Every structure is written in structure tokens, then in C-alpha cells.
Amino acid sequence: MTSTATPPWLATPSHCDWLDDQFRRLIRFMNGARLEAGGFGYLLEDGTSDLTRPRELYLTCRKTHVAALAHLRGIPGTGPLVDHGVDALLGIFHDKENDGWFSALSPTGGPLPGRKEAYSHAFVLLAGSSATEAGRPRGRELFEHAQAVFLEHFWDEEAGMSRESFGDDFSDPENYRGANSNMHLVEACLAAGDTSGDPAWYDRALSMANRLINGAAREHNWFLPEHFDTSWKPVPEYNTDDRAHPFRPYGSTVGHWLEWSRLLLHVEASLANPPAWLREASIALFNHAVTYGWSVDGHDGFVYTTDFDGKVVTDVRMHWALCEGIAAAALLGAVTGDPLYERWYRKLWDHAAIHFVEPERGTWKHQLAADLSEAGTVWPGRPDVYHVVNALLLPQLPAAPSAAPALARGFL
């Protein structure tokens, strides 16, 4: 679903050159995450991995996905990086006794105590799709396996949503349902549909979006509830004593409004007959984010969270929220042709370039305090590259198919 006019940023070759240059620099920086023990590590400011930290499943999956995108962009040396990630996911991260994937491994040894999480399994599915699109030797094996695990254990057909987590043997289901895991599963399901050719994956993505956005977010005036009980009733006071939790913060998360704004347009473009509410809600969520999240405390940037009346709860600025804002503005501008989004796209990139981007390396500071000085209370170091790649790559791609299939089919 695109507009008839070429988005202005695509008509400016120097801007696309800058995006591509930053992408290449970021991939070089990511090379430091490769661990001889298997998988990818948590990157520090100097580009080395913190060898004292656990090896997280979701970080290995995200870096495998990014390496696949880089390989599809023709960057030498990234194919073996994809293989390194896939081998870890089919090897040391895979629970050979109970199936599924361990959420974390010790720095040098076996699995750490934890649960089988929908959040991290979403990224296994995404990594499998991307590795398959990149034509890597074991990509299809990972993709088929990830689909089977998700459908057998996580997908709740009756609810049209994903369950949250289990014990190692897929017993002891958690009495919690989360918007965050289902949001990332929307992305993974769209990629799975593109790679498999099975439109049922698009229907699953629409089902999750419908309940969370057309339902819960709309009912709460676009302040999306993040936490639910097993019947999908919102739990507004969840984590009130841990308000800046990195995965389950209290209140409503501004960056997720922006991420959903983007994802709804991907869902729209993937369906033969998309419902009108997808476009309406995408626009509403973006406008909501810039109204209640941007510069609301006298400092530029998106605050982390608000309560359900719009009062700021946590005022730190997360890099990933800005990245998703850039990608959402680009996609909204492309599908609507409204110059408002071109203005926001430029405004957000200006803010990023001044305060977040380290241009020589292509890395981003991950977290700023309200006064825009660097802070590391939630995400110290430079552990992730996934959201930055969204900001660099998605503005150059159509709304559908997903990034890896689009690159594989020559849509850039």
C-alpha cells in the first residue's frame, strides 16, 4: 500500500547514501558481538561483548536477523554471521529434551534457569524467516522448527492471541498476557507469511492487532494497556513498584504506540482486503505519541512511559522509541502522502543525529536522561542494533513484504 508519489527522502540520493553508510558502519560494529562460545553477546560502548553477561536468546535472534539483512544488502562477511547465529539457535539454545529455546545461557556454559517466553520465541521465528530469505544453508530448518513450536505451544486459537510463557517443559503457563510479546509476534507472523506463502500468518497478525489496538488501545483513548490477565482484561497497576522495567514497565509505553503505528501499516499492506481501522489507528497512534510523548516535560525527545491520563511516569529517552518513530513517520508519509509525516521524519532524524547517533561507528546511545545526557539505568552500553536497522532500512522499503523478503525480491 503506497502513495503515488515518491517519498521525498527517497528522491534525495544523498539521504539514502547517508542511511546506507550508517547501516554499513553499524554492521561492522556488530561484528564484535560474535561469541566463540556460540551466539551473539551484549555489546559495550567499545564494540566488544560483555563476557560476564548471560547470552540472551532474543539478542542472538535479533543479530541473526540483522546479519541476514546485511547479507541481502551484499555486505561481505555477513553470510557466515547469519550461519553462526542459526547454528547457535539450532544447537546450544535449543532445548533438545523439551523443544523450544532457552531464554538465556550462562556466559560460557549451559542454560540458565528461566522460562520459555513468547517474546524471545517471536525473534526465533523472525530470524528463521530472514535466514531463509538470505538463502543460508540451515535457515529453512530453523524457520520450519520455529513455526511448529509457536503453533504447538504459544498460539491460542480461541483467543486469537499468544500465550506469554511456560516452564522449561511447557508446563506451568504464566498467569499473564502481554502486549509487548504479541506486538513482536505481529512482526514475526508477517515475516512468516511472506516466507511461507501461507496467508494464515497474516490473519494471526491481524487478530493480535485487532484485540490490542482496535480493542484495548481504542477503549483507553489510545493509551495502550501493556499488561493483561489470562482473559485479556487489562491490569493497569502491573509493575507499579518497578516502573522502568525494561520489558514490562508500568503504564503505557510511548515507543510502542509508534511501533504499532508502523506495524498496522505492514498488516494493511499484507492483506487482500484490509479493514479501514488499520490506517485510522496507525494515524491515531502516531499523533497520540507526538502529542503525549514528545517534549512534554520541556525537553525534546519521546518519554518512556505515561499513565492512562497522559502524565509522564518515566522520563528517560529510549533510542528504540525514536527509531520506531522515524520508521513510522516514513511509512505514514509513504502511504498517505501527507507532508506532516515528512516534517516529522526530518525532525526525528535531526534529533537522532544531534543526540543519539555516533556517526563514525553507526551506533546509537541507547538511553538518555530527560536533560538529554547519556544514562544507562535500563540499557547501558550498545547491546542492540535491531531498532536502529529499522530506522535506517525501512524508510527505503515498501510496507509489504517484510524487510528480508523485500530485499530478497529486489524491492530496495
Whether residue 297 has pLDDT greater than 90: yes
Query: Is pLDDT of 2 > 50?
Result: no
Domain tally for the chain? Answer: 1
- Long-range interactions of 136-140: CB distance < 8 A, separation 24+: 136/68, 136/71, 136/79, 136/82, 136/83, 136/86, 137/83, 138/83, 138/86, 138/87, 138/90, 139/68, 139/82, 139/86
Residue 358 has pLDDT above 70, yes or no: yes
Cα(187)–Cα(190) distance, integer angstroms: 5
Residue pair 137/128 in contact (Cβ under 8 Å)? The answer is no
Q: What is the pLDDT averaged over residues 353-372?
A: 97
Domain membership flag for residue 6: no
- 320 falls within a domain: yes
Do the beta carbons of residue 88 and residue 38 sit within 8 Å?
A: yes
Catalytic residues: 256, 387
Cα 4 from Cα 1, distance rounded (Å): 10
Residue 329 domain flag: yes
CA 13 from centre of chain: 27
- Taking the CA atoms of 99, 100, 101 and 102 in sequence, report the sign of the dihedral they define: negative
- Across residues 287-305, what is the average pLDDT? 97
Look up residue 106 and give its three cell numbers. 550462562
Specify if 398 maps to a domain: yes
Across 291-314, average pLDDT:
97
C-alpha grid cell for residue 302? 519521546
Which pTM value belongs to this model? 0.97
Tell me, what CATH number does 79's domain have?
Answer: 1.50.10.10
pLDDT band of 5, cuts 50, 70, 90:
low
Cell numbers standing for residue 217: 488501545
Domain assignment present for residue 63? The answer is yes
Calculate mean pLDDT across residues 4-30.
91
Provide the percentage of residues in the chain whose pLDDT is more than 70.
99
Distances from the Cα of 291 to the Cαs of 37, 39, 294, 306, 319, in angstroms? 46, 40, 6, 12, 19
Asked whether residue 3 carries a pLDDT value surpassing 80, the answer given is no
Domain with 252 in it = 13-408
Residue range 336-342: mean pLDDT, rounded:
96
- Residue 342 confidence (pLDDT) above 60: yes
pLDDT number for residue 64: 98
User: What digits encode the pLDDT tens for the residues 54-84?
Assistant: 999 999 999 999 999 999 999 999 999 999 9
Residue 85 lies in a domain: yes
Please state the rounded mean pLDDT for residues 37-50: 96
Domain-located, residue 158: yes
In a domain, 2, yes or no: no
Residues 235-244 pLDDT 10s: 999 999 998 8
